[in-house]
Structure formats: C-alpha cells, structure tokens
C-alpha cells in the first residue's frame, strides 16, 4: 500500500476542512430530519443504536466508541433515561458501574427512526455521489478510523 507524504499533491489542510465541514453538515441535516419526525437528535439516536447493538454496555463502552469523555456520555445517558428510553441496571461484575439497556419505548423509537435515518443518508450521500465514489469514501474512512482507533489517537483523557 502506498501512502502520501505531506509534499505530495493532496492539500491536507483542505482535505481536513472539507472532511470536518461535510461531517458537520451531514450531522446537522440528519439532526433536523430526526427532530422533525421523531423528536430526537442525532447524538441521542447514535447512543440508542449502540445500545441496541451492544446490550449490557456501560457508559465507558459508549465513551470508547464515540471518543468522548465519560462525563459527557453519562450526562447524555441521563437525558435518555429521563425520557424513558434507557434504563441503568446494576452491574454484577462491578458495583461502580451500571449496565445500560434500552427500554421498550427506546427500542420502539430506534425502530421508528431506522427508515428516516437510512432515507436521509441516502438523500444526502447516495443522491450526490456515484456509488463507486461512495464505496471508495466508505473504504477510506473505515481504514482511517481503524488506524486511529488502533493507535488510540484522539481518545479523550477523561
């Protein structure tokens, strides 16, 4: 595999700017659609989807997945718990942590949002990029994410 150096043709500051601005615009557009149709925001849905796919996860597991601080994740879970979408359960292996579970209402909400989530991403990504480009982007970001996660790059301290 061939890697680029800083002196090659790719304008890395521009790539970074494009990446961040695209992520922000996609996130905001998804946020707007989810709020309008389901009364939920993207970050909440991401937490709920993670809990659906990882039953018995802890706050620390979400913090690791989303590269965010434990305190911020815990506050987000508190809000989901207040809405009745998540329940904390005692962790038999560690009294200092809780296991998180979707409630029936939380599971129904995730199921209800699945079509909206896919439809919105299809509109924003699939309608604006040829499938071959989208596939290339998906592979590149998956590879980059793996490298960053493997090396522990960008992981918050707390």
pTM for this model (two decimals): 0.85
Contact between 100 and 51 (Cβ < 8 Å): yes
User: What are the phi and psi torsion angles at 10 (to 5°)?
Assistant: -80, 130
Tens-of-pLDDT digits for all 158 residues of the chain? 566 665 578 889 999 999 999 999 999 999 999 999 999 999 999 999 999 999 999 999 999 999 999 999 999 999 999 999 999 999 999 888 899 999 999 999 999 999 999 999 999 998 888 888 999 999 999 999 999 999 988 887 65
């Amino acid at each position: 595999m061939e890697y680029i150096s800083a002196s090659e043709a790719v304008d890395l500051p521009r790539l970074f700017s494009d990446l961040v601005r695209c992520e922000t615009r996609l996130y905001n557009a998804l946020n707007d659609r989810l709020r309008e149709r389901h009364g939920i925001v993207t970050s909440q849905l991401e937490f709920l989807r993670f809990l659906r796919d990882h039953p018995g996860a802890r706050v620390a597991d979400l913090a690791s997945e989303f590269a965010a601080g434990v305190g911020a994740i815990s506050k987000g879970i508190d809000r989901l718990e207040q809405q009745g979408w998540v329940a904390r359960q005692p962790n038999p292996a560690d009294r200092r942590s809780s296991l998180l579970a979707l409630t029936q209402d939380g599971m129904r909400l995730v199921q209800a949002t699945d079509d909206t989530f896919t439809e919105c991403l299809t509109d924003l990504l699939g309608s604006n990029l040829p499938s071959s480009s989208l596939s290339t982007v998906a592979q590149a970001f998956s590879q980059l994410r793996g490298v960053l996660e493997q090396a522990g790059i960008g992981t918050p301290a707390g």
